[in-house]
């Protein structure tokens, strides 16, 4: 986010716009007769609500259905039910609340059984003032829970007026500021009556995407620091610290988390977009004995943590780092004989996993927001690495939940009401055009047309909104090619009407495809005509036929006479906007500029996602490979030389976030052009395998998971090619011995 954007109070028109609740059958949780319940007064910390049930015997099968707002942590008969983290999944609760289904069979017994639910704030009841106004979200309300316990197929207990509540040991929690834990409050009485209340208004639906769960604990390397002891996890992660240590009565620890160190080797832990003096900080107060605490209502992005107040080096296992990771399956495996490419794929995998927490986020440290444009440029990279089918179906719900009556969408999803107007990084079609792109992608990559059918009305309304605000036949944007070299505040210097119009042109083409899928001939005709007119205006306004390139009036001068912006030319080439007679010359200018810059890119998040593929597809894989293997700034190799363990937000060594995937799209090029595997058309029925495109790569092996089965490609330069083609797929093999291959195991 650029420093020069303003942050204002919520727009009443935005705050009052309630997203439509999709009509569905009543959920199993609602059918039990369970009620939403809340503490009878405002709690001082995270309240604990408890219900009891008498069972005549131990059940053969028992499940707890539960949704606690903002976040819930469940204990049955005193034992934590840890089958997921950060639940329920973030959403606009006026549209949908995702409940959890927990297997509690082994935790119940004969006689009296207790169910305890501790409620964290999450983004539902945020109190921390922040740039994105989560503390002003229109759905903010008291923490509440709805739950039902079923044993052997029968409902045996539901949340209601007979539950009781009390204060618990979590005295404060904030997704941005961290948590405070007072061990002296553990076991406090739960004897206050609850209040039966109205829910937030959205439908109750079971979470169908993969849960977030703790990964393997990481031992920390400790050294003294200015305020105590500094622990190093060895790499950037998204997660929490787990605490198992003895503290004296009233002894206070402060644990701060950060991704980087300053020049003196001290922790960097601050965030100008969180308007309090506290950020990513845990606080613990001892009770004179062991403290066992696993924080459940916030997570941090960090490599380092600083412990103040312990007075000694933490012992083995007393404080460990625990990643929290979405349990998505890998979609591919890749290996080649160029170590840098293997490293870049691995760093991208780590970065993506660090940014999946029920939505795709832009940084687990500084924002935790679902920025739509980050995903839009990274979609092939993300789904090339992981099976995100179910998670993206869920996130589309979040995107549609931000839609206003005029059809506009927020640049983040979900949204508190921020991200629609000037000063809020909006409007920005390079971000919000993610909706049609996702619908087409899900239908093609995963063979799932249902989201395209379910959300076609929202998509059509969005595209009509973008067309309604064209000025002089062109779209406008607040953002553009974000964080290009030399522009650390965000937006680049070139006229963002070019990037906005290019993305809208591509989205209109996707709209034509989606209209055809839905039998909407009128929309298909309108969007096809609008795309043709927009293409014409782009070329009339920005194509300089004399120099054979695209320019804008605000392009900065540089060593190339008149200035040149790579992204301004990459978009028209990649999106099919360039007139046929001009394409060769425009591509030539891209190549010339890359060479003139010492074989370097000069792109932000948009151009970076396009450059290597455009060069390779134009027959200049040599230039693409030279750019990809560079080690001086700006380059991915430069990050590695600086010790990166994940992908960064900016090209320079002053990058704020060291855990950001929108410049990591080199991995898509590696998986498709280096491995040599590309879809032809929208789905997996036809693929192109082109071994050896990248000079300097002499061996590669790739396995890609598809709806039809695993596609295996292994090759050596000058040697054999091994292909395993699943049923339903045809493979067009390029190279010295081209062939068309059907399903089977082929060695050529």
Res. 110: pLDDT tops 70: yes
The H or E element containing residue 715 is strand 709-716
| Backbone angles phi and psi of 160, in degrees to 5 | -170, -165
Q: Given this model, what pLDDT does residue 2 score?
A: 38
Place 109 in a pLDDT band, splitting at 50, 70 and 90. Answer: very high
In sequence order, what are the beta bridge partners of 75? 80, 116
Mean pLDDT, to the nearest integer, of 79-88?
88
Q: To which CATH superfamily is domain 12-209 assigned?
A: Galactose-binding domain-like (2.60.120.260)
Distance, CA of 506 to CA of 509 (rounded, Å): 5
Q: Which residue stretches of 618-717 are H helix?
A: 621-628, 636-641, 666-669
- Which residue, 660, 661, 654, 638, is CA-closest to 260? 654
Cis ω before 70 (30° cut-off from 0): yes
Helices (H) and strands (E) in the chain, counts: 17, 33
Q: List pLDDT tens digits, range 725-745.
A: 999 999 999 987 899 999 999
Give the Cα separation of 687 and 425 in Å (integer).
38
Residue 556 has pLDDT above 50, yes or no: yes
**560: phi then psi, degrees, rounded to nearest 5:** -90, 125
Q: How confident is the model at residue 269 (pLDDT cuts 50, 70, 90)?
A: very high
For residue 308, list its beta bridge partners.
254
Is there a shared CATH topology between the 221-326 domain and the 687-747 domain? no
Contacts of 437 (CB under 8 A, 6+ apart): 376, 379, 506, 507, 510
Which pLDDT score, from 0 to 100, does residue 632 have? 96
Residues 304-350 pLDDT 10s: 999 999 999 999 999 999 999 999 999 999 999 999 999 999 999 99
Q: Quick: pLDDT tens for 374-430.
A: 999 999 999 999 999 999 999 999 999 999 999 999 999 999 999 999 999 999 999
Query: Average pLDDT over the chain, rounded to whole?
Result: 95
Reduced to 3 states (helix: H, G, I; strand: E, B; else coil), residue 235 is strand
Nearest residue to 236 via CA among 643, 659, 654, 652 = 659
Listed by start position, the domains of the chain span: 12-209, 221-326, 427-441+451-628, 687-747
221-326: what CATH class? mainly beta
> What is residue 619's predicted lDDT score, i.e. its pLDDT?
96
Residues in a beta bridge with 474: 471
pLDDT at 433: 99
Q: Give me the pLDDT at residue 6, please.
A: 33
pLDDT of residue 26: 80
Class of the CATH-defined domain 427-441+451-628? mainly alpha
Confidence of residue 4 (pLDDT cuts 50, 70, 90): very low
Instruction: Give the three-class secondary structure for 560.
Output: coil
The CATH number of the structural domain formed by 687-747 is 2.60.420.10
Percent above pLDDT 70 for the chain: 96
CB contact at 8 A, 358 and 209:
yes
Share of the chain above pLDDT 90, in %: 93
Strand partners, 320: 242
21-32 average pLDDT score:
75
Is 82 a residue whose pLDDT tops 90? Answer: no
User: Strand order in 744-747's β-sheet?
Assistant: 332-336, 699-706, 709-716, 721-725, 744-747
Distance CA 340, CA 635 (A): 12
DSSP per position, 466-527 = HHHT-BTTB---S--STT-TT-TTSS-SS-HHHHHHHHHHHHHHHHHHHHHHTT-HHHHHHH
User: What is the rounded distance in angstroms from the CA atom of residue 602 to the CA atom of residue 634?
Assistant: 8
Instruction: Give the C-alpha separation, 466 to 476, whole Å.
Output: 9
Rg for the chain, CA atoms, rounded: 27
Those residues whose C-beta lies under 8 Å from the C-beta of residue 561, and which sit 6 or more positions away, are none
Indicate whether 9 pLDDT > 70: no
* Omega prior to 634 cis, within 30 of 0: yes
């Amino acid at each position: 986010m650029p420093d020069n954007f303003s942050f204002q109070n919520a727009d009443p028109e935005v705050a009052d716009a309630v997203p439509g609740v999709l009509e569905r059958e009543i959920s199993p949780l609602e059918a039990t007769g369970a009620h939403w319940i809340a503490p009878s007064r405002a709690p001082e910390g995270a309240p604990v609500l408890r219900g009891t049930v008498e069972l005549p015997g131990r059940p053969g099968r028992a499940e707890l259905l539960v949704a606690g707002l903002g976040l819930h942590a469940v204990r049955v008969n005193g034992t934590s039910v840890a089958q997921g983290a950060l639940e329920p999944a973030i959403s606009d609760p006026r549209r949908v609340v995702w409940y959890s289904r927990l297997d509690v069979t082994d935790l119940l017994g004969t006689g009296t059984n207790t169910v305890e639910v501790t409620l964290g704030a999450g983004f539902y009841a945020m109190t921390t003032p922040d740039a994105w106004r989560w503390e002003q979200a229109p759905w903010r309300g008291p923490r509440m829970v709805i739950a039902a316990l079923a044993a052997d197929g029968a409902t045996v207990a539901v949340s209601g007026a007979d539950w009781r509540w009390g204060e618990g040991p979590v005295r404060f929690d904030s997704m941005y500021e961290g948590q405070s834990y007072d061990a002296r409050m553990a076991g406090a009485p739960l004897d206050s009556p609850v209040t039966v209340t109205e829910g937030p208004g959205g439908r109750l639906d079971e979470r169908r995407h993969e849960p977030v769960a703790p990964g393997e604990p990481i031992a920390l390397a400790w050294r003294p620091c200015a305020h105590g002891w500094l622990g190093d996890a060895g790499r950037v992660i998204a997660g929490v610290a787990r605490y198992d240590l003895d503290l004296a009565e009233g002894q206070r620890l402060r644990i701060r988390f950060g991704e980087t160190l300053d020049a003196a080797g001290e922790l960097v832990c601050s965030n100008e977009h969180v308007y309090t003096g506290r950020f990513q900080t845990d606080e613990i107060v001892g009770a004179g004995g062991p403290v066992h605490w696993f924080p459940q209502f916030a997570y941090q992005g960090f490599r380092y943590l600083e412990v103040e107040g312990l007075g000694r080096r933490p012992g083995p296992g007393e404080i460990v780092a625990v990643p929290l990771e979405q349990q998505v399956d890998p979609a591919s495996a890749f290996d080649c004989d160029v170590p840098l490419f293997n490293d870049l794929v691995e760093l991208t995998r780590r970065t993506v996993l660090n940014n999946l927490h029920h939505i795709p986020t832009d940084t687990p440290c500084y924002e935790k927001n679902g920025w739509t444009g980050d995903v839009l440029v990274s979609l092939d990279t993300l789904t090339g690495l992981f099976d995100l089918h179910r998670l993206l179906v869920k996130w589309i719900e979040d995107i549609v939940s931000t839609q206003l009556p005029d059809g506009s969408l927020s640049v983040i999803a979900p949204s508190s009401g921020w991200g629609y107007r000037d000063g809020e990084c909006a409007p920005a079609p390079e971000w919000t055009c993610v909706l049609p792109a996702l619908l087409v992608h899900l239908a093609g990559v995963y063979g799932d047309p249902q989201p395209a059918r379910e959300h076609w009305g929202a998509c059509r309304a969005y595209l009509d909104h973008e067309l309604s605000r064209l000025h002089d036949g062109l779209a406008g944007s607040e953002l553009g090619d974000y964080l290009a070299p030399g522009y650390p505040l965000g937006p680049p210097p070139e006229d963002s009407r070019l990037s906005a119009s290019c993305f809208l042109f591509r989205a209109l083409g996707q709209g034509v495809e989606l209209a055809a899928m839905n039998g909407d001939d009128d929309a298909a005709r309108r969007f096809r005509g609008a795309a043709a007119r927009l293409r014409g205006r782009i070329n009339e306004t920005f194509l300089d036929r004399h120099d054979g390139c695209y320019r804008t009036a605000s392009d900065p001068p540089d060593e190339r006479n008149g200035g040149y912006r790579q992204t301004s030319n990459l978009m028209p080439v990649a999106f099919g906007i360039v007139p046929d007679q001009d394409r060769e010359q425009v591509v030539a200018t891209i190549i010339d500029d890359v060479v003139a810059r010492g074989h370097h890119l000069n792109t932000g998040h948009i151009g970076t996602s396009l450059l290597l593929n455009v060069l390779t597809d134009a027959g200049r894989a040599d230039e693409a490979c030279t750019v990809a293997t560079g080690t001086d700034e700006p380059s991915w190799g430069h990050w590695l030389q600086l010790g990166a363990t994940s992908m960064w937000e900016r090209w320079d060594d002053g990058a704020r976030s060291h855990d950001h995937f929108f410049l990591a799209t080199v991995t898509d090029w590696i998986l498709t052009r280096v491995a040599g595997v590309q879809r032809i058309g929208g789905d997996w029925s036809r693929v192109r395998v082109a071994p050896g495109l990248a000079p300097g790569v002499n061996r590669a092996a790739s396995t890609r998971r598809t709806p039809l089965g695993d596609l295996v490609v292994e090759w050596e330069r000058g040697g054999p090619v091994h292909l395993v083609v699943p049923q339903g797929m045809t493979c067009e093999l390029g190279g010295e011995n081209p062939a068309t291959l059907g399903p089977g195991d082929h060695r050529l």
